[in-house]
Amino acid sequence: MTFHERPSLAPLTFALLIVLVQHSPALAADDAADPRRPAAISTAEVPRVGDAIFARQRQYQNMRSAAFQGWAPDGHGILISTRFGNSPQLHRVFEPGGRREQVSFYDEPVGGRFVPASKDNAILLTMNAGGSENFQIFLLDHHAYRTELLTDGKSRNELGPVRRDGSQMIVHSNKRNGRDTDIYIADTRKPDSMQMLYETTNQFWVANDWSQDGKELALVREVSINEGYPALFDVASRQLKPLKLPAEGKAAVGGMAFAPDGRSVYLTTDAEGEFLSLWQLELESGKYTPLSTDIHWDVTHIEVESKSGTVAFVVNEDGASRLYLIADGKRRSLDVPLGTIDQLDFSPDGEQLGFTLSRPDAPADAYSISLGEGKLTRWTFSETGGVDPASFVEPTRVKFPTFDGREIPAYYFRPRGASAEKPAAVLVVIHGGPESQYRPDFSPVVQYYVNELGLAVVQPNVRGSAGYGKTYLKLDNGPLREDSVKDIGALLDWVGQQKELDAKRLAVIGGSYGGYMVLASLVNYPERIKAGIDIVGIANFITFLERTSPYRQDLRRVEYGDERDPEMRAVFERINPTARAETIKSALLIVHGKNDPRVPFSEAEQIAAKVRSAGRPVWTVYAENEGHGFVKKDNRDYLAAVQALFLEREVLGK
């Protein structure tokens, strides 16, 4: 069982009508004449992007990465996700460094995993259309050249745990009413076989793991990133048994996994400290044994080997991952390069652990490590588009003081040649979530900004970010929302103190909640920021909460506050960027997918119309076939070129 960070309720991924403004015929003609703009994208006020920018970006846009998706049940190779066409697809790799055999062929991005214990190496695919996030589950029988739809083709269906024998799967689906996400059981090989296991009216439950005998599920009721409740669910009787945490009171629960004998479970919780620690719970006695409370960082992933019971877990140390094993009662750290680790899975023979590793100076690739001698094996060698890997810039960890005396962590990419005599312009990248965290993953876009545009890139983890303890995580909740914006003000002060940085040439960019942070920064610091790029951002918390997909509303209200409460509504009315749009003096680029189920497209419409009505220019890039971010390569390539042109004109003065 693998889980990601704390339960992310609004993860960041970078993007109603086109704003009701009459554009000049000359502008419309110029827009329509851009031959590189994909047909699904509409723009306003965006100049034609010159060939030179596309030529300079081509190598960076053709960099690839590979994500480990699991071991083949027959022991011959692994499954990965990588892109060779317009969107990521699934591929098999039969040996380290071997060829990648593509097994899915769709226009939309595809995820998935092997059906456990399947003799034919069947694969469960997950896919949605146009960024709608109404995921569907398919069975791919590669040998019979047949793909079957297993879900209803309409509702939102997320694949949960699959039985060890591969016969059944758990599906989290809102098919009952479009709002509540219920838990279903289904046959992995039969369409229309979903049967209700647990109805979750007004609650949000997630199945984390399935016991090896198939009798019980490990569930967590997620109230917020700060509050969760573990339970066992008896599949036959449909009975739910709550489990106590190691300490009383509200606490976060990150994930759960059964021991092979089913007599205990492993779970992560911050019930007895600031961080998500790993515990083992004996189910009969209720006794908890701490396994990582001496490590003062969050445990982000756990995986249990099905025969030996060896436990692998990952710790997030100030953004970087550290990998541990627990075997025969002893814990040891495994030597893995600096980076972030994801998607843990033990090999069928139990001798290796597979995972994705993303280093700050190289694209993500699939790796495995032998449990005995700790030998690291690289399975994929993703391409860097012909760019010399030695040219990639690694970030430096820094901290800067903020208004209340705290120190805010950040990662700083310093371009070569930046000096007091030649200070570099600055791009501040603000992550979404808000309960997310910038971590030192590889980003071709950041490397392009640093190496080709000469921009210094700073990625702060302002208050409210995950990874630094539950107290830090709660510092921006509800009415404290603008305190995180004050942290950006403190970062502007820090930039001004660095001799090699030019505080007068500074831009901000962010997606989702990071888009709100961009708009709020432009509103609060209009004289200090030259340009902002808002990607699928929140412009008005009231309309956002009223219009976000119903299955998300209650989870978001816990973090942001309830717009139905008069006092909280008054706070929103005061801090909404739409309420102070006339104060924005910075250049503005707005990006949004029209199918976005998280931050409705109307958020982009609102802020663009208000800023334009105040007489300010606004570039807009809207996509008909995208949702909460741009994932199709042709759309991303065009957007990257527009962003580069925007930064060159508005920040670099070219």
Q: What is the mean pLDDT of residues 549-557?
A: 88
- Phi and psi torsions of 329, nearest 5°: 80, 0
Query: Predicted confidence band at 253 (pLDDT cuts at 50, 70, 90)?
Result: very high
- Compute how many other C-beta atoms are within 10 angstroms of the C-beta atom of residue 8: 16
| CATH superfamily of the 25-61+396-650 domain | Alpha/Beta hydrolase fold, catalytic domain (3.40.50.1820)
Pairing of strands 111-114, 123-127: antiparallel
Q: What is the mean pLDDT of residues 291-317?
A: 96
Q: What is the pLDDT of residue 531?
A: 98
Closest to 395 (Cα-Cα) out of 460, 335, 334: 460
pTM for this model (two decimals):
0.89
Query: Predicted confidence band at 360 (pLDDT cuts at 50, 70, 90)?
Result: confident
- C-alpha distances (whole Å) from 620 to each of 14, 21, 90, 651 are 15, 12, 33, 18
Contact 352, 369 (CB under 8 A): yes
Q: What is the pLDDT of residue 420?
A: 96
Question: Is the pLDDT reported for residue 269 higher than 80?
Answer: yes
**Considering the chain, what is the average pLDDT of its residues?**
92
* Percent of the chain residues past pLDDT 70, beyond the cut: 95
- Kindly report, residue by residue over 180-197, the tens digit of the pLDDT: 999 999 999 999 999 999
Query: Predicted confidence band at 596 (pLDDT cuts at 50, 70, 90)?
Result: very high
For the chain, domain boundaries? 25-61+396-650
Question: Is the pLDDT reported for residue 444 higher than 50?
Answer: yes
Question: Is the pLDDT reported for residue 276 higher than 50?
Answer: yes
**Structure token pair of residue 96:** 């380290």
Q: What is the pLDDT of residue 7?
A: 35
- Kindly report, residue by residue over 1-46, the tens digit of the pLDDT: 443 333 333 333 333 222 222 233 233 334 456 889 999 999 999 9
Q: Could you tell me which residues are beta bridge partners of residue 400?
A: 408
d(CA 134, CA 127): 8
Pairing of strands 264-269, 277-282: antiparallel
Q: What is the mean pLDDT of residues 604-611?
A: 97
Contact 362, 378 (CB under 8 A): no
* Percent of the chain residues past pLDDT 90, beyond the cut: 82
Pairing of strands 531-535, 587-593: parallel
Q: What is the pLDDT of residue 4?
A: 34
- Kindly report, residue by residue over 319-338, the tens digit of the pLDDT: 999 999 999 989 999 999 98
Q: What is the pLDDT of residue 143?
A: 79
Q: What is the pLDDT of residue 103?
A: 93
**Total residues found in the chain within this entry:** 654
Q: What is the pLDDT of residue 361?
A: 84
Question: Is the pLDDT reported for residue 632 higher than 50?
Answer: yes
SS3 letters across 338-358: CCEEEEEEECCCCCEEEEEEE
- Compute how many other C-beta atoms are within 10 angstroms of the C-beta atom of residue 371: 20
- Kindly report, residue by residue over 144-184, the tens digit of the pLDDT: 788 999 999 999 999 999 999 999 999 999 999 999 999 99
Q: What is the pLDDT of residue 19?
A: 28
